[in-house]
Amino acid sequence: MVIFSPNQQAIANRIDADTAIDRWKDWRWQVKHAVTDISTFERLLGIEFPEDEREALEETIRKFPLRITPYYLSLIDADDYWNDPVFMQCFPQPAELQVEACDMADPLAEDTDSPAPCITHRYPDRVLFLVSNVCAMYCRHCTRKRRVGDVDSIPDEAEILAGIAYIRENPCIRDVLLSGGDPFMLSDSRLDWILTELADIPHVEVVRIGTRTPVVLPYRITEKFTAMLKKHHPLWVNTHFNHPAEITASSREALRRLADAGIPLGNQSVLLAGVNDCPRIMKTLMHKLVQNRVRPYYLYQCDLSEGLAHFRTPVSKGIEIIENLIGHTSGFAVPTYVIDAPGGGGKIPVMPNYLISWSTNKVVLRNYEGVITTYQEPDSYEPVYCDRKCDTCRLQLKLDDADESKAVGIARLLSNDESISLVPENTERFDRRHDDDD
């Protein structure tokens, strides 16, 4: 028997006293009744904003639209909504309209790094494939805020096929990350079709899907849906919980179904001022995630997208949170804290410093308690210089993957005698060199 919270009862009654509670768990009903305007929000939550505030809110959602499922709305504490982490993530704030000097429409250069429709190809062996522009709820902290609600950028079948063709033509791609929008907002059959097409490409070894439906629309995860997903292993799913208040009976059930379908689950949180910028909140969240078989994957520093300035914390807050996790709790409950490099450099891990010093054969380290310790390095290690000439190496690699011998980036600096440095192109010094060449 389904148990509804008092908030859910109240919201359902206000939507439709006769039928809403019966249809509450129907995900399409939830999508159909998503709140997209301020007055419906007020009516369903039983609150009222002052007239001048409402005007500023209307102006904000004209630029960055509003969308909240009745389910996610029901998690808001109506008596203290201004302090509510769920409210903060779904309800507009006029501060979104303040543009800072550092703000960018597309800070991660996802559009620039796009060689084919719906594809961002940034890393050597994996691509981001944006297959849906639709979300159940519009996160106020969305990094792709520029595109939210933009019907012109909903990928049609031809564009998806062009993306799939790109993946098929590039054998270096072994990992495809479906994102959007939210791929779980596609119909079962459409997602089944995309996953079937990808399964048909021999070099695609794994597919992952990024979705926030377990958080904002858990009823999407039906038994029929997970039965379909199960056909497409190895399939990984990453979701996006930011606060322990989002872990409810319904979201736990959604996670249980995904995990029972054999899908490894990960979580990507975003560090948000006023929502989860607190070591205790974060530790509780991580514990609740692992209890539900979800492995914390990344903790993101908030991006430089336009309209997110009021959510950003200093990097020190993220370091402080990681400092409060490593050693203090299970290793698998600690996410990697990353900054997604503006300009398209990809995710850069940032960590507290544990390596204090280093001499010829001894490292000085500190642990989470502040104990300073040393590790004696071996005297007898015969240095093996890895120049990636695997055919002359004494280690029996027994791998025939020729591609791996090619080193890239910093790994190349370490392995290749000819490369002395990686030089940034946009410096005056570099420009002068070009002039000399002329």
Ligand X SMILES: *Cc1c(COP(=O)(O)O)cnc(C)c1O
Q: Residues 67, 140, 144, 212: which is the catalytic one?
A: 144
CA–CA distance, 61 with 64 (Å, rounded to integer): 5
Residue 204 within binding range of ligand X, rule CB under 6 A: no
**Contact string (CB under 6 A) for ligand X, positions 334-373, x = contact:** -------------x--------------------------
**Contact string (CB under 6 A) for ligand X, positions 153-182, x = contact:** ------------------------x-----
Q: Which residue has the tokens 């597919």?
A: 207
* Part in contact with ligand X (CB under 6 A); list of ranges 14-22, 117-125, 241-249, 400-408: 117-125
Catalytic status, residue 144: yes
Cα torsion for 66, 67, 70, 74, to the nearest 10°?
A: -50
For the bound state, the minimum distance from the C-beta of residue 390 to ligand X, rounded and expressed in Å, comes to: 24
Q: Which of 115, 152, 109, 60 is nearest to 342 (CA)?
A: 109
Catalytic status, residue 386: no
Please count the CA atoms within 13 angstroms of the CA of 61 that sit on its side-chain side.
20
Q: Dihedrals φ, ψ of 129, to 5°?
A: -125, 105
For the bound state, the minimum distance from the C-beta of residue 120 to ligand X, rounded and expressed in Å, comes to: 4
Give the chain's end-to-end CA distance (angstroms, integer). Answer: 79
Q: Which CB atom, from 85 or from 210, has the smaller least distance to ligand X? A: 210
Contacts of 307 (CB under 8 A, 6+ apart): 63, 64, 96, 97, 99, 103, 145
Q: Which CB atom, from 126 or from 140, has the smaller least distance to ligand X? A: 126
* Part in contact with ligand X (CB under 6 A); list of ranges 71-79, 115-123, 133-141, 143-151: 115-123
Residue 126 within binding range of ligand X, rule CB under 6 A: yes
Residue 287 within binding range of ligand X, rule CB under 6 A: no
Residue 120 within binding range of ligand X, rule CB under 6 A: yes
Q: Which of 200, 193, 121, 119 is nearest to 157 (CA)?
A: 193
CA–CA distance, 258 with 227 (Å, rounded to integer): 9
Q: Residues 106, 113, 126, 288: which is the catalytic one?
A: 126
Catalytic status, residue 390: no
Q: Residues 84, 106, 113, 303: which is the catalytic one?
A: 303
Q: Are 238 and 210 in contact (CB under 8 A)?
A: yes
Active site residues: 122-123, 126, 135, 139, 142, 144, 303, 340, 347
Under the rule (CB under 6 A), what is the footprint of ligand X?
A: 120, 122-123, 126, 128, 177, 347
